Amino acid sequence: MLEYFTRQIQLWGKETQLSLQDKKVLVVGAGGLGSSMGYALGSSGVGEIHLVDFDTITRHNIHRQIAFTLDDVGKNKAEINAKRIKARCEFVKVVAHKCYFSEFTKADLSFDLIIDATDNLEVRREIDEYARAKGTPWIHGTVEAFHGMVAFFEHSSYRDLFRLSSHAPNGVTAPMVMHIASLEATLALRYLAGFEVKKDLLYYLYFNAEGELISQKFNLANKKEQK
């Protein structure tokens, strides 16, 4: 295992790398964001990853959902994603849940971190409620066209952000999906490895009319401070 993670051990040492084996993460959604994120977290040494997705793979998914091939059409996204993660890293336990998130919440499971990889506003609200009930931080991500948002929720709520993302996406580019998934995965990995992470902050990334990548940050309302 130590040989597999040589480059990361050079970054943060053997003790930190081994500590990731004890971490348990829930990823809700195994499509575009979930594919890239599953690869990133699984190949980084996170010990246990649970993937929740009821949906099956279609041809129009594949251009941006990098875990899948044309041979996977009609198969469950969570199952195939889990299979591909395990094929890349033998040191991770991956559990696929072929169900709606509302059904999954009935299971009495606990996680170190919850990650949103969905494209559904109602499910994001369900994630927010579930995470707050469990007292577990969660990371939100969304992508549209050439822009995207990522937020790490600890004391704030998705309701603080909903007004900024209250419509269905109007098309999406594959590299932007990978870019936002990468940012979510990096925040997750820093948090799980014990590095400092700025909580209750929204990152908004977009390309302007001149083709320049712009990155903005917004503080989200802190529910603790409002009490």
pLDDT, tens digit (0-9, with 9 covering 90-100), for 74-130:
999 999 999 999 999 999 999 999 999 999 999 989 999 999 999 888 999 999 999
Q: In this predicted structure, what is the pLDDT of residue 117?
A: 97
Mean pLDDT of 33-51: 96
pLDDT in tens, 148-203: 999 999 988 887 676 555 555 578 899 999 999 999 999 999 999 999 999 999 99
Residue 227 has pLDDT above 60, yes or no: no
In a domain, 112, yes or no: yes
**Average pLDDT of span 41-49:** 97
CATH number for position 141:
3.40.50.720
102-125 CB burial, b ≥16 within 10 A, e <16:
eebbeeeeebbbbbbbbbeeebbe
Share of the chain above pLDDT 70, in %: 93
- CA dist., res. 67 & res. 76, Å (int): 12
Residue 219, Cβ neighbours under 10 Å: how many? 11
Give domain status of residue 1, yes or no. no
Note whether residue 64 is domain-resident: yes
Total count of domains within the chain: 1
From the list 123, 126, 179, 191, the residue with the least C-alpha distance to 149 is 179
Q: What does pTM read for this prediction? A: 0.93
220, part of any domain: yes
Is residue 111 domain-resident? yes
Q: Which domain holds residue 134?
A: 24-226
Residue 155 lies in a domain: yes
Shortest CA distance to 171 belongs to which of 74, 63, 90?
A: 63
Overall size of the chain counted in residues? 227
Q: Does residue 95 lie in a domain region?
A: yes
Is 202 in contact with 184 (CB distance < 8 Å)? no
